[in-house]
Structure 1
């Protein structure tokens, strides 16, 4: 008798981004899927790209990487922002992918549907779609942000995109065996669409590997930190709203406050931050020193989709959070326990002042946030056992 283990089943992750545990939000969610699938199966990561060079992974991937490039004219034009439109060569490569039918096939993001449509029919029968964000709702939210800032053309374009995405969601998503979304609110609403099958709230999770205990905030510190891709409209809007509406009020309460904004910003936003006295950290290679100097983290977001990894990251570094209600959507966070929440500029300023001047309150909230992260949103050795789904009532 042979003592060799039985062969493992196979899983496939179809993605447009290279999964990484320390990249932007999409890369981290891709990593979440790669770890979950690789824990129970032999994983093939099929990366579809439009001619770009594939970067060398900083962290070894938990599966075999296969690259499918699309460089010619698209087979079908959708007129949708971010939609991946494969050419004939990419379609042929996807149809010819070798190997048995996978036990699980996860398509990462709705805008890869036209790529997934060229997979072998037996593969498509087991396909799951991870929308992450609910695209039509996100586009509608972005249009709302543009309206608030008087950008009428951008708002109209966003509304048109939301309408087109909504039509495709109703027509295409029911074909998938399971549809995943990051926020339980989105999953509950999507599940009520006609013809939908199983819809799961599959939350974002951060890597929770071994590390040193987070550094405590500096004594008498007065520093707030905001981290985000500042070219993304919701993050840009968050900085503008905070600087214009919150910061003047906060400076009257805590005159010595400092605000650090980390990310990649356009020149106009950099100049705005300089005029307002915000400290800008351009694409820092390591965020840990910035978190070490921060007393608290702010998440003044008023639009966008999904759940916000910046909140989870703040808890990862044991920092208390002041957030809008939108920034906490999809998370099991209790107001006053895991974060201070305000959608009004004056109240947001008072909450920031509380955490800057009450170290005991700030430390307690940081501990509660870190505990919630460990319990519900950590990606550890048991990545094969996903967090329990949120009820879809």
Structure 2
């Protein structure tokens, strides 16, 4: 089958949840199918970095999307019926490149990776492509709903910046409801990463063809035994650090949970690893309780050294690739219930510990610091679960089944 992937950003190097998903689905399908990828790339250096993808697909790139000024985003928030996500990657250069590709070749399937690319995928209808598919990384309206409610509650208690963010998310939430309802109805297949996201989108469009293709992990690469890097009481958080739900999780943990932990265990420190740390994240670094390491070539030594890997998510959707990586490495994990959402079969006390409130999260973390044997048991069970259910090699046949190939 000839498949055209539409990518909103470089999938290689595969850093960040979206890039990891695109890369692993593309690479898996390329084992048996002819893949072309048309990808945005911010500059020539990013295009050069995509070179390893050429071993798996034919690659075409468009420089962009052009940056949007804050004033532009503010105006479209007020004036456009479209959500910000639908405008983020809108550029004539990509549409022209896609039209040329579709006119020159016959593709059996166009796979639009993420809601940002939804309108481009629909363009394939005009060129007679028999099957178009949208890969929804999140039920985006649900993510913005959660963000709006969280920020508006904080704004009510005297945090003006949170109030402003809440108003923005409220507007985006309402726009996304209308946009996602329309888009998922127009696609032949819509992929979602969890049963929760499928249910959320089915509420908008009951007739949509929704299929769960979960996020996965390379359990051969993320396997116990890498060299540890840290001290025995480290708590570790890994994430893309400019993503709003991750910032919210980190700030909540540092302000509400970590002081409770250090009151009982003063030597505990939080190590934060990930790319694109902005001012809000860098300001948390104090060289004593919180260390913001930033981007590293390999996260495995940090996760492997963790006394506890923490997933303090309070907003968001989909499923957590970072949690799958930690489970594959057999790390002891404490998560909020929302942080573990989307990974079917995870059980509190069997694969990880859950804590919904600051007190519960702190107590679970202290329990694992004190009981290393429990952490080892949970870690082993967590790894066994993701090896059986969430290795990418087990997911690709499910995707081929959805596509009938």
Please state which band the TM-score falls in when normalised by the shorter chain.
0.7 to 0.9
Q: CA deviation at 1:117?
A: 3.1
Work out whether 1:133 is the aligned partner of 2:146: no
Q: Which residue of 2 aligns with 1:115?
A: 120
Q: Is the 8 A contact 1:46 1:66 kept in 2?
A: yes
Q: CA deviation at 1:268?
A: 4.2
Q: Is the 8 A contact 1:50 1:70 kept in 2?
A: yes
The more displaced of 308-317 and 228-237 is 228-237
Equivalent positions of 1:1-393 (< 5 A) are 9-20=1-12, 22-48=14-40, 54-57=47-50, 59-61=52-54, 62-69=56-63, 79-83=82-86, 84=88, 86-97=90-101, 98=103, 100-119=105-124, 121-150=126-155, 151-194=162-205, 196-209=207-220, 213-215=224-226, 221-263=232-274, 264-274=276-286, 277-332=289-344, 333-380=346-393, 384-386=396-398
SS in 1 for 2:123: coil
User: Residues of 2 paired with 1:243 and 1:252: CA distance?
Assistant: 13
Label 1:67 to 1:123 Cα distance change in 2 as closer, same or farther (>3 A).
farther
User: Residues of 2 paired with 1:186 and 1:241: CA distance?
Assistant: 24
Query: CA deviation digits over 1:242-285, x for unaligned, max 9?
Result: 12221222123323222211124223432333187212212122
User: Residues of 2 paired with 1:277 and 1:113: CA distance?
Assistant: 43
SS in 2 for 1:373: helix
Q: What is the alpha-carbon root mean square deviation over aligned residues?
A: 3.0
SS in 1 for 2:356: coil
Label 1:274 to 1:170 Cα distance change in 2 as closer, same or farther (>3 A).
same
Query: CA deviation digits over 1:82-114, x for unaligned, max 9?
Result: 324544443333222155543332111122122
Q: Is the 8 A contact 1:10 1:43 kept in 2?
A: yes
User: Residues of 2 paired with 1:183 and 1:292: CA distance?
Assistant: 27
The more displaced of 250-259 and 197-206 is 250-259
TM-score normalised by L of structure 1: 0.87
- Which segments of 5 or more consecutive residues in structure 1 lack a partner in the other structure? 1-8
Query: CA deviation digits over 1:191-225, x for unaligned, max 9?
Result: 24345232011110112346764248799921110
Label 1:360 to 1:59 Cα distance change in 2 as closer, same or farther (>3 A).
farther
The more displaced of 267-276 and 192-201 is 267-276
User: Residues of 2 paired with 1:238 and 1:360: CA distance?
Assistant: 27
TM-score normalised by L of structure 2: 0.84
Label 1:297 to 1:172 Cα distance change in 2 as closer, same or farther (>3 A).
same
Q: CA deviation at 1:24?
A: 0.9
The alignment of Structure 1 onto Structure 2 pairs a total of residues equal to 380
Label 1:88 to 1:233 Cα distance change in 2 as closer, same or farther (>3 A).
closer
Label 1:111 to 1:22 Cα distance change in 2 as closer, same or farther (>3 A).
closer
User: Residues of 1 paired with 2:127 and 2:350: CA distance?
Assistant: 48
Task: Give the helix-richer structure, 1 or 2.
Answer: 2
Q: Is the 8 A contact 1:376 1:387 kept in 2?
A: no
State the 4+ residue runs in structure 1 displaced beyond 6 angstroms.
70-74, 216-220
SS in 2 for 1:191: helix
SS in 2 for 1:327: coil
